[in-house]
Chain A
Amino acid sequence: MKKIASIILASVALFATSAKAEYKFNFVMHSDTNNAFWAAVHKGFKDACAQINADCQMLTLSGDGDQQEQLQNLESSIAQGVDGIVTTITNPTIFDAAVDEALAAGIPVITANTDDPEGAAGSNRLAYVGQDLEAAGYELTANLSEMFPDGDIHVLIGVADMNQSWAYTRGNGIARFMEDYKAANPDRKVTYEKIESGLDLSTVGNRVAAYVQANPNTTAYLDVGFWEAGAAAAVRNLGYGPGEILLAGFDLVDVVFEEMDKGYVQLTVDQQPYYQGYMSVHQLYLMNKYGLSALDINTGKAMIGPDDVETIRSFKGMSVR
Chain B
Amino acid sequence: MSKNFSLRSLLVRPEVATFLMFLAIMIGFYIANERFLDARNIRIVMGITPEYIIVAIGIAILMISGEFDLSVGSVFALVPMTIVQMVHQGIPPWFAIFLGLMIGIIVGFVNGFITLRFGIPSFIATLGMLYIARSLTTVATAGFPPPFPHILPNELFVYQFELFRASLYWALLVAVVLGVMLHRSNVGNWIYATGGDQNAASSMGIKTGNVKMFCFILCGFLAGFAGMIQTFRLEAPLPSQGYLLELESIAAAVIGGVSLFGGIGTVFGAVIGAILIRFLESGIIMARIDAEWFRAGLGSLIIIAVVFNTYISRRATRIGQNKAKD
Contact = CB atoms under 8 A, between A and B. Distances in A.
A60 B292 contact: yes
A188 B44 CA distance: 56
A12 interface: yes
Interface stretch (A76-84, A228-236, A281-289): A76-84
B25 A79 contact: no
Main secondary structure of the interface of B (DSSP, over half): helix
A66 interface: yes
B24 A63 contact: no
Contacts of A55: 288
A94 B235 contact: yes
A184 interface: no
Contacts of B144: 162, 168
A15, A61, A81 — which one has the most chain B CB atoms within 10 A of its CB? A15
A214 interface: no
Contacts of B200: none
A168 B143 CA distance: 11
Interface stretch (B28-36, B56-64, B181-189): B28-36
Contacts of A4: 308, 311
Contacts of B235: 93-94
Contact of A62 (B25, B143, B244, B289): B244
A59 B311 contact: no
B21 interface: yes
A12 B243 contact: no
Contacts of B41: 76, 79
A312 interface: no
Interface in A1-49: 1, 4-5, 8-9, 11-13, 15-17, 24, 32-33
Contact of A79 (B38, B234, B241): B38
B71 interface: no
Interface in B34-60: 35, 38, 40-41, 44, 48
A5 B24 CA distance: 7
B33 A91 contact: no
A65 interface: yes
Contact of B295 (A62, A66, A76, A81): A62
A185 interface: no
Interface string A124-141: 000000000000000000
Interface in B164-200: none
A52 interface: no
B236 interface: yes
B285 interface: yes
A59 B291 CA distance: 5
A153 B8 CA distance: 77
B286 A61 contact: no
A163 B238 contact: yes
B323 interface: no
A80 B24 contact: no
A79 B28 contact: no
Contacts of B147: 93
B149 interface: no
Which has the most chain B C-beta neighbours within 10 Å: A11, A12, A163? Answer: A12
A79 B143 contact: no
A72 interface: yes
A312 to B, nearest CB: 28
B256 interface: no
- Determine which residue in B21, B288, B315 has the highest number of CB atoms from chain A within 10 A of its CB, and name it: B288
Nearest to B285: A76
B112 interface: no
- Max chain A C-beta neighbours (<10 A), residue from B27, B230, B315: B27
A85 B29 CA distance: 22
A21 to B, nearest CB: 10
A68 B35 contact: no
Interface string B1-40: 0000000000000000000110011011101110100101
Interface string A65-77: 1111101110111
A261 interface: no
Contacts of A196: 138, 143
B269 interface: no
Interface string B230-267: 10001110111101100000000000000000000000
B317 interface: no
B290 interface: yes
A12 B28 contact: yes
A87 to B, nearest CB: 13
A63 B243 contact: yes
Given A5-B24, A76-B41, A81 B35 contact: yes
A15 B24 CA distance: 13
Nearest to A42: B290
Interface in B280-297: 281-292, 294-295
B278 to A, nearest CB: 9
Contacts of A168: 144
Contacts of A66: 240, 243
B290 A15 contact: no
A67 B230 CA distance: 12
Given A58-B291, A76-B44, A162-B143, 4 more contacts: A17-B288, A69-B243, A73-B291, A79-B286
Interface of A: 1, 4-5, 8-9, 11-13, 15-17, 24, 32-33, 55, 57-63, 65-69, 71-73, 75-81, 91, 93-94, 161-163, 168, 194, 196
22 contacts: A8-B24, A13-B32, A15-B32, A17-B287, A17-B289, A55-B288, A57-B285, A58-B290, A60-B292, A62-B243, A71-B234, A75-B44, A76-B282, A79-B38, A79-B40, A79-B44, A80-B35, A80-B285, A93-B235, A94-B235, A161-B240, A162-B239
